[in-house]
Amino acid sequence: MVERRHLLQHLELAAHAFGLDQTLAVPVLPPRAAPPPLAAPAPSETPPADRPRATAARNPASAPVRPPAEPAAIPPPAATKPPAPRPAASTAGGSTAAAASDVVAARWATLRREILACTRCPLHAGREQAVPGEGNPHADVLFVGEAPGASEDRAGRPFVGPSGELLDRILSNAMGLQRSDVYIANVAKCRPPGNRNPEPNEVAACLPYLQQQIDWIRPKVIVCLGRVAAQNLLGVDESVSRLRGRDLAYRDIPVVVTWHPAYLLREPAAKRDTWDDIKRVNRLLGRPEVPAPGR
């Protein structure tokens, strides 16, 4: 429309220039309405979040500068429960040692009950009670006799008669030890009738008990008291006089053979041999050959 109006005005001016008095009808266009002004937001009105961005795009110079948004507060870390204090090493070690001691005591008690109720050989028929053995289950030295006598059969303990009294003196005077420091057992756990030597079948039935005791104790030295103990434990057929002083062993454990205390009561002169044998035991244990006075 604007271009047409300009063309009519141009033709009218050209007509006047050539002396023509002609007025061309030029349509009058209504004035263009001005766009309404943009209403400023009320002071208390909070513009929408996207409105400032649109204004800034139209007029970057006049766009208000908004401060950066405050970062969201980081919540404090959740409180963690402190770990429970660990028990002291001594407490844990003490509990472990106590538990191990209970296990050892329980298995020895089980073996004792089995021996007391044993019926593997005919000796059980004439016994008053079996004699499992006694002493320290962690002993460094194990003394092995042949079988219980009358006193042992009544008491249920090894070496409690006159032979036992002599063995106690040997322990005290020649080794500086007490009965509770060592372990004492027999090849046969029941008394043979008339104090005879146990028969091979009786030993074969009973020897596994002694072997189990040796495996549990693991002594540093085994002392065989007399021929019957030495021959049946070592599986040999030699006399005490030939076995004394020799380097013998049972399952890698050194074995010292000496006279039975009952023999020493009949032959006091043989006590000197036993004294020498016990000094050898002391050497194998890493102890002085002769204990200090008062031990």
In a domain, 177, yes or no: yes
Domain assignment of residue 38, yes or no: no
Give residue-wise pLDDT tens across range 19-42: 545 554 545 455 555 555 555 544
Structural domain contains residue 202: yes
Sheet holding 141-145, edge to edge: 134-135, 183-186, 141-145, 221-225, 253-258, 248-250
In terms of DSSP bridges, do strands 183-186 and 141-145 run parallel, antiparallel, or are they unpaired?
parallel
Q: Which residues of 153-189 are buried (b: 16+ CB within 10 A; e: fewer)?
A: bebbbbbbbebbebbbebbeebbbbebeebbbbbbbb
Residue 261 resides in a domain? yes
Asked, for residue 46, whether it belongs to a domain, the answer is no
CA atoms within 13 A on the CB side of 66: 12
CB-based contacts of 204: which residues, under 8 Å, 6+ apart? none
Q: Look at residue 10 in the predicted model and tell me its pLDDT.
A: 56
Specify the pLDDT at position 9. Answer: 60
pLDDT (0 to 100) of residue 97: 75
Does some domain include residue 15?
A: no
Instruction: Tell me the whole-structure pTM to 2 decimals.
Output: 0.68
Domain contains 81 = no
Q: What is the CATH number of the domain that holds 258?
A: 3.40.470.10
Q: Where are the beta strands (DSSP E) in 105-235?
A: 134-135, 141-145, 183-186, 221-225
> In whole angstroms, how far apart are CA 106 and each of 74, 102, 113, 137, 152?
61, 6, 11, 12, 24
pLDDT tens sequence across 180-238: 999 999 999 999 999 999 999 999 999 999 999 999 999 999 999 999 999 999 999 99
Number of domains in the chain: 1
Q: Is residue 248 helix, strand or coil?
A: strand
Q: Which domain holds residue 184?
A: 106-284
What pLDDT, on a 0 to 100 scale, did the predictor assign at position 66?
53
What is the arithmetic mean of pLDDT over 106-113?
96
Evaluate whether 278 touches 258 at the Cβ level (below 8 Å): yes
Residue 201 falls inside a structural domain: yes
